[in-house]
Amino acid sequence: MREEVLLYISPEDSQDTYNFKLVESGYAIPYFIYSNAVSPAEDGEWNYSTIRKMRNGCVKAQENSMGIWEHIDDILLPMELRFLTRREPPQKYCADLINDFLYSPQHYHKVSIENRLFFYPRDVLTAIQQAFRPTHDCPEWLHKAWKVIQMEDGRRGEEDPRRKRREELK
């Protein structure tokens, strides 16, 4: 399995990245993958600021039918083209950032493009720990793991990560 490092290039923190400008103008779509797009800070809390900004830019481009959004129903997404050329089915689980569900790799298309956060199979337990609930198409062991983690979090009195995620993505 090949892994790539994601790099955001921007002269200053306050300026928009080149990637964001492409998404906002409709020439690219966001493709969020844990842990590149979101990862825990030193205190263990996740930061969704990059995702929020990219999501907002994507929605703006969609609403104005800019770039690829004018033809989105007639084209393959880059990741879908890779599936075809490699002749391999999707491998990454897909979390819905808004509805807090986790879909098996073959059901990523049920999540709006701007709300997708992908997890490699090796990171799927991290998705469960962040309270993304497995959908019926996920393996049974994920449902069991989700129940155990939810019970443990409840016993420890930990805050539900879904509330914080929804606040940060506004």
| Mean pLDDT along residues 138-152 | 91
pLDDT tens-digit map of 46-62? 788 888 999 999 999 99
Average pLDDT of the chain to the nearest whole number: 85
The pLDDT value given to residue 158: 67
The Cα 75–Cα 67 span in angstroms is 12
The pLDDT value given to residue 9: 53
The pLDDT value given to residue 123: 94
Cis before 35 (ω within 30): yes
Question: For residue 113, what pLDDT band results from cuts at 50, 70 and 90?
Answer: very high
The distance of Cα 4 from the centroid of its chain, to the nearest Å, equals: 16
The pLDDT value given to residue 16: 80
Strands 32-33 and 133-134: unpaired
The pLDDT value given to residue 63: 96
- The partner residues of 33 in beta bridges, in order of sequence, read 118
The Cα 42–Cα 52 span in angstroms is 20
Q: Which amino acid does the sequence have at 19?
A: N
The answer to whether residue 102 scores a pLDDT higher than 90 is yes
The pLDDT value given to residue 167: 77
The pLDDT value given to residue 8: 52
Are the C-beta atoms of 83 and 95 separated by less than 8 Å? no
Dihedral over alpha carbons 59, 64, 67, 70 (to 10 degrees): 100
| Mean pLDDT along residues 32-44 | 77
| Mean pLDDT along residues 97-119 | 95
| Mean pLDDT along residues 88-101 | 94
Q: Which amino acid does the sequence have at 162?
A: R
Residues contacting residue 10 through CB under 8 Å, at least 6 positions apart? 16, 17, 18
CA torsion sign, 67 to 32 to 93 to 100? negative
The pLDDT value given to residue 35: 82
| Mean pLDDT along residues 93-120 | 95
Three-state DSSP at 33 gives: strand
pLDDT tens-digit map of 3-34? 555 555 555 555 688 888 999 999 999 999 99
